[in-house]
Amino acid sequence: MDYKEKVKNLPNSPGVYTMKGEGGEVLYVGKAGDLKKRVSSYFYPHRTLSERITALVQQVKDITYIPTSTEAEALIYENSLIKQLSPKYNVALRDDKSYPMLKLTVNEKFPRLFITRRKINDGSIYYGPYTNARLLREAVVLLRQIFPLRSCGKMPKNPCLDYHIKQCLAPCIGEVDETDYSEMIAQLKLFLDGKRTELLKRLSEKMIESSRQEKFEEAAKIKNRIEALSAIKERTVRYGPMSELEELKNILGIKGSVEVIEAFDVSNVMGKESVGSMISFYKGRPKKSEYRKFKIKTVSGIDDYAMMRELINRRYARLLEENKELPDLILIDGGKAHLASAIDELEKLGLSNIPVISIAKEFEHVYVKEQKDPITLPKESKALYLLERIRDEAHRFAISYHKSLRSKRIASSELDEIQDIGERRKRSLVNHFGSIDKIRRAKLEELLKVRGMNEKSARSIVEHFKN
């Protein structure tokens, strides 16, 4: 094994590493605050190692790693992998008072997560034991930032400081119901079991569903959780390691850069309030300053293909006119017909050289130009995960814009019925509150804060919705 080539590709950052044998079997799982420094230490010349580690090093044929945001997080993932894989050279730890464990009190209506050294048969779930109490305490702090569970032994009548610093959802005052809290517990269990891919997919689906139901605040919270977890998405490193973008380049056969990816989606309900979205990713991350919203202008009724043509034409005709940089790859949310529409429009603009693909949601098939059959990527593919992330973000952005326009239209039409509310005040109200439901619930003093509103018109609104 040319371990120097393996080790030099490791980052100087926290993570979990695995050492594998000739047949790909996992021999050892370890954690590190600095992966390169820790793993290279096994191969220092003239270093005295124990018989167990010497035997391990002689059998290692491959090294892989999973990056984490902190060493504390690596501690959690190391334990879950050891439990799953039972590596030959990891020393088994006993569940006794020598080592701390994590206790998840699933026997309670609103479960808690805390550190304990005592394991009892009370229906709780225990994780561990762990070898480093300090890192475990840090890990619990991290987990509570992502999964804000209650920490109090007995729920108080008033919310504590944790609620105000957004580290508890405050079930004590009914700020979260049992169903939503249980869903968060299920997500935490996936995390502690090391099932990050499954967890991120579940969160993405829930975020999209929340957006569809116009629960935008809930969708935003889920999005924040996804972003926090995405930083620790598994990346496997082998000889000459590949990133998401490098894997995507290889799959698509792109020779140049794929740093800038632009994605499109359309949204409408029965052809009404038809809109489109364009989002941009740079080096695998959202670049929100480049996001664009479109009101469909040239298409009436339901014709997603024609709408996609309009989006492509408007976006790239403008970039050409302004002599701005074009993307390295274009992603369309849809199937083969959606892709064909986009390709045809790009060819009309003389931009047939830009790679363009589509991803169909039902089976996650990836369609490419001049290829009859779609590409089916394995579920663990980093490239697929990247494409899904970009596609879902384009969809979320289109849906939120569509809902916003529809909400404003409904609000404007209902406000027409209220005396003393003219066009200017109507626009101010809609812009200030965002939806008719929020205007309906607004108190007199809140209405008076709206630009151009006086007490008479504010009282008219209150009375209208009161009656």
Tens digits of residue pLDDT in 96-134: 456 788 999 999 999 999 999 888 888 999 988 887 888
Q: Which residue has the higher pLDDT, 19 or 46?
A: 19
Cα–Cα dist 86/99, whole Å: 19
Task: Give the CATH architecture of domain 416-466.
Answer: Orthogonal Bundle (1.10)
Report pLDDT digits (tens) over 301-348: 778 899 899 999 999 999 999 999 999 999 999 888 999 999 999 999
**268-282, 333-347, 404-418: segment of lowest average pLDDT:** 404-418
pLDDT reported for residue 22: 85
pLDDT reported for residue 1: 46
Cα–Cα dist 453/179, whole Å: 40
pLDDT reported for residue 409: 58
- Evaluate if residue 380 carries a pLDDT over 80: no
What's the average model confidence in pLDDT over 344-355?
94
Q: Which residue has the higher pLDDT, 412 or 203?
A: 203
> 47, exposed or middle or buried, with CB in 10 Å at 0-12, 13-18, 19+?
exposed
What's the average model confidence in pLDDT over 189-214?
81
Question: For a pLDDT cut of 70, what percent of the chain falls above it?
Answer: 88
User: If we measure between CA atoms, which residue out of 264, 445, 279 comes closest to residue 342?
Assistant: 264
Q: How many angstroms from the chain centroid is the CA of residue 30?
A: 26
CATH tag, 244-403: 3.30.420.340
Same fold, 3-85 and 244-403: no
pLDDT reported for residue 421: 79
* Range with top average pLDDT, 119-128, 143-152, 160-169, 245-254: 119-128
Report pLDDT digits (tens) over 364-377: 788 998 777 788 77
pLDDT reported for residue 262: 96
Q: Which residue has the higher pLDDT, 351 or 238?
A: 351
Report pLDDT digits (tens) over 69-90: 778 888 888 888 888 888 888 8
Which residues have C-beta within 8 Å of that of residue 361, sequence separation ≥ 6? Answer: 333, 391
* All structural domains of the chain with their residue ranges: 3-85, 101-230, 244-403, 416-466
Of the chain, the end-to-end C-alpha distance in Å amounts to 80
pLDDT reported for residue 405: 62
Which residues have C-beta within 8 Å of that of residue 181, sequence separation ≥ 6? Answer: 110, 111, 169, 171
- Evaluate if residue 234 carries a pLDDT over 50: no
pLDDT reported for residue 69: 73
What's the average model confidence in pLDDT over 164-190?
85
- Cross-strand bridge partners of residue 357: 331, 368
Q: Is the peptide bond before 11 cis (omega within 30 degrees of 0)?
A: no
Report pLDDT digits (tens) over 46-60: 667 788 888 888 888
Q: Which homologous superfamily does the CATH classification assign to the domain defined by 3-85?
A: GIY-YIG endonuclease (3.40.1440.10)
Q: How many angstroms from the chain centroid is the CA of residue 189?
A: 17
Report pLDDT digits (tens) over 244-270: 888 888 888 888 889 999 999 888 654
**311-315, 414-418, 460-464: segment of lowest average pLDDT:** 414-418
Structural tokens at position 61: 């044929």
**318-332, 409-423, 436-450: segment of lowest average pLDDT:** 409-423
Kindly report whether the global pTM for this prediction surpasses the value 0.85. Answer: no
